[in-house]
Each structure stands twice: as C-alpha cells, then as structure tokens.
Amino acid sequence: MGEPLGGLLSAPPAIVAAGVEAFSAAARGQGAAVTDVAWRPPAFGDPADLTQLALDPRRAAANRTAVERVLAAGSLLTDVRPAREVLGLPDRMLLHAGPPLTWEAASGPMRGALLGACIFEGWASGPADAERILAAGEIALEPCHHYRAVGPMAGVTSPSMWLWCLADPVHGGQAFSTLNEGLGKVLRYGAFDAEVQARLGWMRDVLGPVLQRAVARRAGDPVDVRAILAQMLQMGDEGHNRNRAGSLLTLRELSPSIVEVDAPAADIAAVLRFIGGNEHFFLNLGMPTAKLAMDAARDVPGATMVTVLARNGTDFGVQTAGTGDRWFTAPADTPVGLFLGGYGPDDANPDIGDSAIMETYGVGGFAMAAAPAIVRFVGGTVPDALATTERMYQLTLAENPAMQIPVLGFRGAPTGIDVVQVARTGWLPQINTGMAGRVAGTGQVGAGLVQPPQRCFEQALAALAAESRAAR
Amino acid sequence: MGEPLGGLLSAPPAIVAAGVEAFSAAARGQGAAVTDVAWRPPAFGDPADLTQLALDPRRAAANRTAVERVLAAGSLLTDVRPAREVLGLPDRMLLHAGPPLTWEAASGPMRGALLGACIFEGWASGPADAERILAAGEIALEPCHHYRAVGPMAGVTSPSMWLWCLADPVHGGQAFSTLNEGLGKVLRYGAFDAEVQARLGWMRDVLGPVLQRAVARRAGDPVDVRAILAQMLQMGDEGHNRNRAGSLLTLRELSPSIVEVDAPAADIAAVLRFIGGNEHFFLNLGMPTAKLAMDAARDVPGATMVTVLARNGTDFGVQTAGTGDRWFTAPADTPVGLFLGGYGPDDANPDIGDSAIMETYGVGGFAMAAAPAIVRFVGGTVPDALATTERMYQLTLAENPAMQIPVLGFRGAPTGIDVVQVARTGWLPQINTGMAGRVAGTGQVGAGLVQPPQRCFEQALAALAAESRAAR
C-alpha cells in the first residue's frame, strides 16, 4: 500500500464485476477499470444450503480426506467364488443394480434378468412360474451395493453365480462382481432364454471353477487390477463402454495360469476363446476396483463427494461420503446414443446398472478423452469426447495421477465428484452406458450417453446442508 | 472473360504473389490487389528434374496405381517355418537389415548380431572365432529385403531361425520375418552372450514348433494381421515402437490354438508367458504386413512413391516404385530420444533396421497421433506427436481408410511417400525407432526419433527424372 490515501481517493473507481457481462461492459464503456471475475449464480440448490456448505469449516479437509482415500485405494484379484459362499447369499435372494427396488417397480430388463436368475437357480420351472414367485414376494431383492458388490446393467446376482473377489490392500476393503457374459442377448440386459441359460450354466460349471484355480495359482502374485485400468487409459479404453485393451490385458495376466489348471484341453481352449471373444470381459473387474476406492471414502463427515452413482432401470441413486448409506433417488433418464441392428430410441429402457461406479471413480465418461474411438459405439464426435473430460474437471476434487490421459498431456483423470461443484455449475456428471431393451427378454439394443437426474443432487445438497447445520 | 478489354486495362494491376511474402506485402502496401498463393521453391533437387517429373504424363496415374496396390494389399498369417526351409537360406549365409553391407563397413550392433548368429548356428565356437570367419568372408551377407524378408534392428536372420510367413491374398505376395525376442539384451540390438543364445535356442526348440502347430490349426481361418494393425491404431499403438495392443490381440488370436497343441503344459504356459511378456511381439508381424503392401507396388514405371526405407546401422537405403530394386543410400543419422538406465547419446548407434517399412506403409512415425502415449518412450510431447502426423499428410499420396486415427476424427493414416512431395516441401519422413548400443554386445540403449538423410531422396529424385527422360 505505497499509494497515499489522497491518490487513492482521486483515482477513478476500481470495479470488480462478478460474472454479469452487461454491467462490466457498461462500466468499461465509461472509462472505468473493470476486473472481470468468473463467478455466476449457482445453477440449482437453495442458496442458504450452498452458503452453509461453503462456510462449513470441515468441508475442505473432509473432501481432501475422501478423495485421497479414493486415489490411494488399490485393487488386487484375490479369488473367484460363488456368491452363495462369499457373500453368504441365501437361497431365494437376488441382488440387483442401483438403489432399492420392488418387483412392481422393476422395468422390463430388470424383470427379465430376475426371471432368468430364478430359472437359473431352479427356483422356477419357466418364465411364468418365475413371475409368479417374484410377484408373490417369495424372492428377496437387495441392491448389490448393500453387499459390497456391483453389477453391470440389471446387475442380477444369484447364489450360484461366481464372483470376482477383489481386495484393497491399502484400506482393507473387499468388493465383488459377477463374471461378464459378453454382449447381445445376455441376462444383464434382460434376456433369459435357453441360450442365456446355457451360457450361465457353462459359466457356473466350467468358467468359474477354471478361473478360481487359475487365480489361486497366482496367490503369491495377485493380478493388480488397478494397474490394468491405468494401462487401459493409455490404450484407448475409458473403462466403462470400452474395455478392449483391459480385457486383453486380463487375458494376458491369466492365460499362463489358466493353461496350467488341470482341466480338459477343450475346456481350457473354450475359456480362452470366451475371454478373448468378449471385449467387455474386464468391465466386471473394473467395477469392483472403482467400488473398492469409493467405499474407502465412505462416512467422512462433512465431505460432499459422491461415493455412488447407480441405476436400477427405474430410479437413479446417489450416495455421498458425508451421508453414509442414504440414497438420493429420482426417476432415471434414458440414454441417447447409437442402436444395434433395427433398434431405435423407442426400444431403449431408462438408465440401468451399477457401472456408473466407473464415472464415480473418474474414468468411463469422465475419461472419454482417453478413448476417442468410443464415439463409434456411444455416439457423438471426437471433439465432444475431449470436451466432456475437460468439463468434468470442473466438477471434481482431484486429478488421479494413476489414471493418466495421454492426449491431455498425461493429465490425471477428473476424480471425486463434488455435489457443491455440480450445483454451482449445473453441469451433471457425464456417464456413457449400454442400453437395454425396454421389453424383458430383448437384451442389448445400443449404447449411449446419459446424465443423472438433477433431482438426485438437489436432495443430496439439502441433506448435506442439514447434516452440516446439525454438526454445528 | 465477360470483362471488356478496356476495363481490364484501366483496372489496377492484379497481382498473384507466389510464396514471397515480402513482395506481396510491398505490393499490397501500394494499394494493389494481391492474391497470395501457397507456393515456395523446392527445398532440394535439381529444378529441371522436378519439372521433368511434374510434366511426366505417366506420373499421376502411376502413383495412383502404386498407392492403390498398397491400400488394397492384405496380410494373412499362413505358416511358421525355419528360414532354411522357407527362404532356402543356405548354410553360411546370413540376412541383415537395410541396404547391402560388408563386414568391414558394419557397425557395432550389426557385428554383434552377426557374431551371435554364427555362434547360434554352430559355425563358430565363440565371438573371436565368429569374428575370424566373418572377417575372412566365409559368411555370405545379404539384405533381408532381397529375400522378401524384413528384420527389425540388425535384422540378422540365420537358417535355423523360425519365420512368420505372411501372404497377401489380393496380389499373391509373400513376406517373412523372424520371431521377436523381446527388449533389452537381444540379438537384434547387437547382444550375443549366453543369455541371448539360450533364448534363441528356446525359440528354435519350443516357441517356433508350438507356433507352427498353432498356426496350422487355423489353416482354414488364418489370422488377419492387417486387421490387427488397424485395430491397434484404435488402441493407442502406432505399430512401430508401440505394439502393446497388437501383441495382446495376437495373443488373443493364437492362444486358443496354442493350448490345443500337443505339448507339455509347462511349454504351453512358457509360450503364453513369453508372448504376454513382450510388448513388441507384434512388430515382426506388422513389418511383413507392410512389406507385402509395399512389394505389391514394386515396378510401376513413372511412379515416384517410396517402397522401402531401411537402415543397416551404417547406411540408410531408399527404393521407389519407379526404380525397381535399386538402392539410394547415404550414411544413416543417429536417432534423438530417450535412453534406458544410464545410457546417453554417446552410446547410440546410427539408425538401424528394416522396421522403417512401417513408416513406408504410413503407420509408425506417420501415425503417431494415434499413439500419444509413445512420447514417453521415444521423446517429444503429445502436441509434437499430433503435429507429426499432420505434417506427413503433406508428403503422401493417400489416406489409408483401413488405418484410421481416432483422434483425427478417424482420418486414414498418411500413406505412400512421394519423392517429389518430399523434395518440394523439404520435410523428411518421420521415423520413430529403437536405439541400439554403438558397442557390439550392448543391446538396446533407448528409443527415439530420426529421419532419412536428404541425400537418399536427392539421388532417388535424380534417378526418377533420368528414367522419365529415357522413357520419352
């Protein structure tokens, strides 16, 4: 402050214009020195709630704690076991994707997958019988997320299905997911016919046991799944709808152990062909990797970071680090994208699946810049893909140094969605996703882009503000 | 010409300024209408030669014929056989990379590889003995390219080494390359010690026979190597120094057949581990794929397209479609890039290897935009990688629709280097490459970027012009 007071008083007015361009232009036109500041009113949310959170002295440190746990989490492949054993999943219970759901509220593909699982487990003799027991409430339905599991699309997990078992050596967590069936007419997209049942049977009788023994052979040197995910981003995958490199890397990691399993050569070859023929095989390893990281950040009071984005085909559900296991739900939107064969927009079911855990973790739609070729699968243009990742940096708390995006000069993926930043910008997280047929039994109809309903974030914001007030 | 002559005469002078900016600015400053044309004097070459070629009525059609053959060529993996059988390579003959070479002129890594091959074949009891027979002229040396083969780095190929055998189903050509040994201390980088010999022995006794039988099992459905190369460009590889995805795709294609080969499980597992552990395994499949395409364009009178870029560690050699098997050579430059361990620029040998066939085909350095992560291996920045591909479009005759670069909106790779365009622009083809240690026995010291000597193109231009005059 070397300027004498008199000089300051006689100087022309110094104006700081916060976001309102018409005003700053008018002042500048009158010869005033105007400093523009990038500010704009919040896009949604009660201003009192936003002020409450902005002034919460816990918030910065809590979000740092939460996102640092996410960045530090590891993911090792430790076992492959049936859901009955590893989750203690009882008879007559099925897990499903997204927030809690009843049979009555379930969409077509979710109903298809639930029917198929009842038949697969031998609880029903056919679709009509399965529908009867489901409608009668004889089958308990629980979200995968409540069992530290994540399931793509319908995410239906039954006791006889084998699960990847992953462990976070840093925080001690565990997470689980089924084995990926491939694309097209598969249970997770709501198909349940004889072809689907035969594949599930082979996965139960051959694939699961072979993978279990192959993974056991690597007990002293478990596959580092997070490292595979990091490599994929250097190889044109984003880890949600493009898992080509990741699936090949998984095949490379497991194939030497697979061939050493004492099983018929034809079975071994069939396992290698199945993995090699499924470009999404890695997805069910990537999802529990993200789940491990996000679960490590659960229950950090004052943190406004999202820990779950998940959809059950009817509702979209959000959880945050500062609000524990509470779900903030709203009706799910329907993706917009590209369709297989003769399918079109009218055939698509609303958004479904736990796979948005990938975006929650900062990859998938958030890392589309790493995977420009994905626009041929989900729609849009290459510049859109680059711009999407750039935009997601505005919503997130950190850049993940382990998940680098080469074309952005190896910048880390935008990680840790902040509910407050979402409300301030009005930009919703970008998810890219598969599209299930609206009618049970159809299977996949396409892939595309979708966002969570703003209403989920409005509720989360209000709940976080209420918690903040209560914590005073 | 609707303008009356009088109007034209009374109008201010209309000036077309061809490339000389100072002149157009001066004229514009005097009120003249100046139309700038992007023209500049040729960067090198006798103007009379360039005029001769520009006016050669054959040239446009000949180049179109040449590059269309390149674009049309296919590449199927048909067999794996020892060089002795498939090339008829006699005892006491070795193939090497690049243009013709004598023992006396050979660089350190080339000598190291030649020594190692003599020991491997049992022609010499050790390095001193091998040096003696090589110096005495007892071992015939021939370029790989003269045998429809291509070898990375030293490219030394001896009768007992197994070769990939590839066929072009469109033009009927065949091309060959050894099996890739991996990185580090390997024969092709000039190392020849016991570790190298042991690996070559295992490749001869286990890897080659297993691959032969695995490939034979796919006789009715041969692996489409060109399709793998195309997929790699969607997965962050450029096919010369980054072959990660390609190697995994190869593993995926071959592993089911490999496990069905009747061989000990430990051998099968070792083969899968060897392939899975070598991120450059695909290179020796990519190179003969490019060779098939470039050989399809040989001997097109009037065509000024390059068919070979190859280096023997001493000289760089160029061939063109219009000049048959004639080599245009000049001393090779030394790459600039990144070094392994404690190595530095003084340790690097001049440019070596037939692998620049990848750039000749329009991938490798020409497709660096597809592989931004490669800058971590060869040096430079991501914007450099993108700009390099953009620049190579100025030197080439076509965009290869089969080799698409996602980040450039799926533009085809710049393909078919035109000697005339190189002379006009003065921009030399960009090659990215491995770097061998200058001292025999060292192995790899790094990877980097290099260009052919301009002198090769000066000679090619003069020869093409002379042929054009003679064809009148």
Q: What's the CA angle centered on B462, arms B413 and B335, to 5 degrees? A: 50
The answer to whether the CB atoms of A372 and B245 lie below 8 A apart is no
Task: Please report the pLDDT score of residue B27 as a whole number.
Answer: 64
Task: Please report the pLDDT score of residue A235 as a whole number.
Answer: 97
Q: Say what angle helices B208-217 and B244-259 make with each other, to 10 degrees.
A: 80
pLDDT band for A13, please (50, 70, 90 cuts): low
CB of B379 less than 8 A from some CB of A: no
Task: Please report the pLDDT score of residue A42 as a whole number.
Answer: 77
The answer to whether the CB atoms of B259 and A236 lie below 8 A apart is no
Nearest CA in chain A to B263: A265
Question: Which residues lie closer than 8 Å to A410 by C-beta, 6 or more apart?
Answer: A404, B373, B376, B382
Sign of the torsion formed by the C-alpha atoms of B26, B29, B31 and B33: positive
Lookup: tokens for B36:
């700038």
CB of B256 less than 8 A from some CB of A: yes
Q: Residue A81 pairs with which residues in a beta bridge?
A: A163
Main-chain phi, psi angles of B445, to 5 degrees: -115, -15
Task: Please report the pLDDT score of residue A4 as a whole number.
Answer: 40
Q: What is the ipTM of this complex?
A: 0.87
What's the whole-number mean pLDDT along residues B88-114?
97
Q: What is the pLDDT of residues A52-68, one digit of tens each?
A: 999 999 999 999 999 99
CB of A244 less than 8 A from some CB of B: yes
Lookup: tokens for A17:
């214009």
| Residue B21: pLDDT over 90 | no
CA distance A102 to A159: 19
CB of A279 less than 8 A from some CB of B: no
- Chain A closest-CA separation from residue B325 CA (Å): 38
B409 interaction partners in chain A (CB closer than 8 Å): 381-382
Among B256, B376, B406, select the one facing A269 at the smallest CB separation: B256
The answer to whether the CB atoms of B382 and A268 lie below 8 A apart is no
What's the whole-number mean pLDDT along residues B370-393?
94
Q: List the single best residue of B213, B237, B243, B259 to mutate versus A (max A Cβ within 10 A).
A: B259
Q: List the single best residue of B234, B260, B278, B368 to mutate versus A (max A Cβ within 10 A).
A: B234
A375 interaction partners in chain B (CB closer than 8 Å): 406
pLDDT band for A472, please (50, 70, 90 cuts): confident
Q: What is the pLDDT of residues A178-197, one digit of tens each?
A: 999 998 899 999 999 999 99
| Residue B8: pLDDT over 50 | no
More confident residue, A28 or B239: B239
Question: Which residues lie closer than 8 Å to A117 by C-beta, 6 or more apart?
Answer: A94, A156, A157, A158, A187
More confident residue, A21 or A336: A336
Answer yes or no: are the C-beta atoms of B43 and B425 closer than 8 Å: yes
A259 interaction partners in chain B (CB closer than 8 Å): 259, 265, 268-269, 272
| Residue A36: pLDDT over 90 | no
What's the whole-number mean pLDDT along residues B69-84?
98
Task: Please report the pLDDT score of residue B20 as a whole number.
Answer: 55
Residues, chain B, total?
472
Q: Report the range of poorest mean pLDDT among A137-146, B27-36, B155-164.
A: B27-36
DSSP B418: B
Nearest CA in chain B to A410: B373
Q: What is the pLDDT of residues A352-383, one digit of tens each?
A: 999 999 999 999 999 999 999 999 889 999 99
| Residue A238: pLDDT over 70 | yes
CB of B382 less than 8 A from some CB of A: yes
Q: Residue B336 pairs with which residues in a beta bridge?
A: B449
The answer to whether the CB atoms of B382 and A407 lie below 8 A apart is yes
Q: What is the pLDDT of residues A71-84, one digit of tens each?
A: 999 999 999 999 99
Q: What percent of chain B has pLDDT over 90?
A: 89
Q: What is the pLDDT of residues B312-357, one digit of tens each?
A: 999 999 999 999 999 999 999 999 999 999 999 999 999 999 999 9
286-345 of A, contacting B, C-beta below 8 A = none
- Chain B closest-CA separation from residue A376 CA (Å): 9
Task: Please report the pLDDT score of residue A10 as a whole number.
Answer: 47
- Chain-wide mean pLDDT for chain A? 93
Q: Residue A448 pairs with which residues in a beta bridge?
A: A337, A433
Nearest CA in chain B to A273: B256
| Residue B465: pLDDT over 60 | yes
Q: What is the pLDDT of residues B172-213, one digit of tens each?
A: 999 999 999 998 899 999 999 999 999 999 999 999 999 999
Task: Please report the pLDDT score of residue B194 as a whole number.
Answer: 97
| Residue B31: pLDDT over 70 | no
Answer yes or no: are the C-beta atoms of A286 and A358 closer than 8 Å: yes
Nearest CA in chain A to B408: A382
| Residue A46: pLDDT over 50 | yes
pLDDT band for B42, please (50, 70, 90 cuts): confident
Task: Please report the pLDDT score of residue B369 as a whole number.
Answer: 97
Question: Which residues lie closer than 8 Å to A339 by C-beta, 6 or more apart?
Answer: A345, A347, A348, A435, A445, A446
Answer yes or no: are the C-beta atoms of B307 and B317 closer than 8 Å: no
Answer yes or no: are the C-beta atoms of B287 and A291 closer than 8 Å: no
Q: How many CB pairs under 8 A join A and B?
A: 99
Task: Please report the pLDDT score of residue B183 as a whole number.
Answer: 87
What's the whole-number mean pLDDT along residues B71-99?
97
| Residue A125: pLDDT over 80 | yes
Lookup: tokens for B144:
């790989």
- Chain A closest-CA separation from residue B406 CA (Å): 5
- Chain A closest-CA separation from residue B249 CA (Å): 7
| Residue B38: pLDDT over 60 | no
Q: What percent of chain A has pLDDT over 70?
A: 92
The answer to whether the CB atoms of A251 and B252 lie below 8 A apart is yes
- Domains defined for chain A, CATH in brackets: 5-40 (no CATH), 49-71+298-470 (3.90.1700.10), 73-287 (3.90.1710.10)
- Chain B closest-CA separation from residue A276 CA (Å): 5
CB of B221 less than 8 A from some CB of A: no
B408 interaction partners in chain A (CB closer than 8 Å): 382
Task: Please report the pLDDT score of residue A1 as a whole number.
Answer: 35
Q: Would you tell me how many other CB atoms lie within 10 Å of the CB of residue B12? A: 9
What's the whole-number mean pLDDT along residues B94-105?
98
Q: Say what angle helices A265-276 and B244-259 make with each other, to 10 degrees.
A: 150
Q: What is the pLDDT of residues A301-357, one digit of tens each?
A: 999 999 999 999 999 999 999 999 999 999 999 999 999 999 999 999 999 999 999
CA distance A102 to A54: 37
Nearest CA in chain A to B262: A265
Q: What is the pLDDT of residues A148-182, one digit of tens each?
A: 999 999 999 999 999 999 999 999 999 999 999 99
Among B234, B251, B253, select the one facing A252 at the smallest CB separation: B251
Q: Would you tell me how many other CB atoms lie within 10 Å of the CB of residue A14? A: 10
